[in-house]
Structure 1
Amino acid sequence: MRIRATVAAVSGALALSAFVVPAAHADEAHGDTKISNVVVNGGKGVVFGTTTKKTFTVTFTASDNSGIKMALAVLYHGANIDDSDNGAVPNENGGAKATCTAVSSTTSNCKETFTIQANEQLLNAHAGTWKVWAIAQAKDSNYVQKDNAKSFYVQRASKLTVNAAPEPVKKGRTITVTGALTRANWETGKYAGYGTQSVKLQFKKKGATAYTTVKTIKTSTTGALKTTVTASVDGTFRYSFAGTTTTPAVSATGDYVDVQ
């Protein structure tokens, strides 16, 4: 895996200028070098559809009293970088180092971009928590290495539908609200049902500006949703899913019901 080769190369280079050779799988530090303010994709999860190709940024601050010589961050999925089952190196400088700009004699702001294509680089098992492995070396050969400088989510894109029937309906009669929660399957290239997930049925009365929750139900094993309510006033129904570590939150486009 290229990510491991990159980490090994960087760690080896540090061995030439530092007193201690950092282990790739553990935090290490020599001197007063620091890494802080790590932000992935603007602080949002990185969401991929079935064939999405996405480029996103990682930014961080590196500091040392002598100034920063170089820095690097790579992304990985797994307990630690040595046991990772997937990862990504930055687009900049052949994946060898970040682009860092000095903002003072001691501090640099660093930026990297990463490009991942779902149907070529991701399996469904890779959805969930990813980590940022980061290292910075100072001009005086001090360094810091962090196995998990930041955690973030790589997620399978989700869709949610709703249909309230019959329309129109007489007051006091039963309304049946159906729908489906699906998410991207990176291995088949299709969207498939997301089973046994809690989803809220919400209602917005005609003229109101916000939805209120009517009840919470679970999807079937195939992602289907079905429940009933009693017709009372005109308004819009929707289903809303709060999301999980592997799948982002999503709300259906509302379905308006005319109650007569």
Structure 2
Amino acid sequence: MALQLDERQRAMLLEMGVRVWLPGTAFAVMADNDPAPVAPTRAAVASPVARAPQPAPVVPKAPAAAPEAVPVQPSDLAALDWNGLADTAAACTACGLCAGRKFGTLQPAAQTQADWMVVGDPPEEEEDAAAQAFTGAPGQLLDNMLQAVGASRTGSGPQGAYATNVVKCRPPHGRNPAPADLAECAQFLQREVELVRPKVIFAVGRFAIQTLLSEHGALATQPLGKLRGMVYRYRGIPVVVSYHPKLLLRNSADKAKAWADLCLAMDSITPS
């Protein structure tokens, strides 16, 4: 039986380099300068429609350069007031933590002096977005703890409490701050202490404790269970260590221990 091909089918086969001979016909003659036919692929035979042009490969952009590290000198902070200190912290590029910062959490104190100062671990996402230390449920628990000893973050003097983070920027990708990061930001903490003039510092969280107990050498790296129940010193100011409120929310059994730590801190305050 003769193969039945119409003109369109013959033209398509010829385009693909397939020459068909039928009785009474001659092979199509290719010119000498025509390119040699290419064997069709299975996909080409199945779908002879011309393939759409492929887009040019996308060259990935080089990652944005990290901000140049500009160390902060203690002399640069010594004369700053609250507003100047907060502005400097918000623009600081002294360490790599600034890469994860939306807003710095160092904010001017609501009072000129507070007997209580609470120092916590690096800010988490909620604190970073609010530009404030101790927000959300942990912040509410801290406020309740302070109220139990007659202090608040809106009070002043013996009834006043100032709360801050040991570093002022949220670490990028939630990583832990490196010792160099803690050392750079410790200068801001030192100036905060000078402005608040607290009678006691309540340190909650591993990195806050390490920084505030750095004067005590290797003792600062001991587990919290071995550090509790003692009064330490940071630049002559009593320091009491305890659990971070976010940990107390996960393990309410430790709240009794935290209450004992608060009582120890309260007893360490020297009356004016």
- TM-score of Structure 1 vs Structure 2, range by shorter chain: under 0.3
TM-score by length of 2: 0.20
More strand by share: 1
The TM-score, its normalising length taken from structure 1, stands at: 0.21
Q: Compare relative contact order (CA 8 Å, sep 6+) and give the higher one, 1 or 2.
A: 1
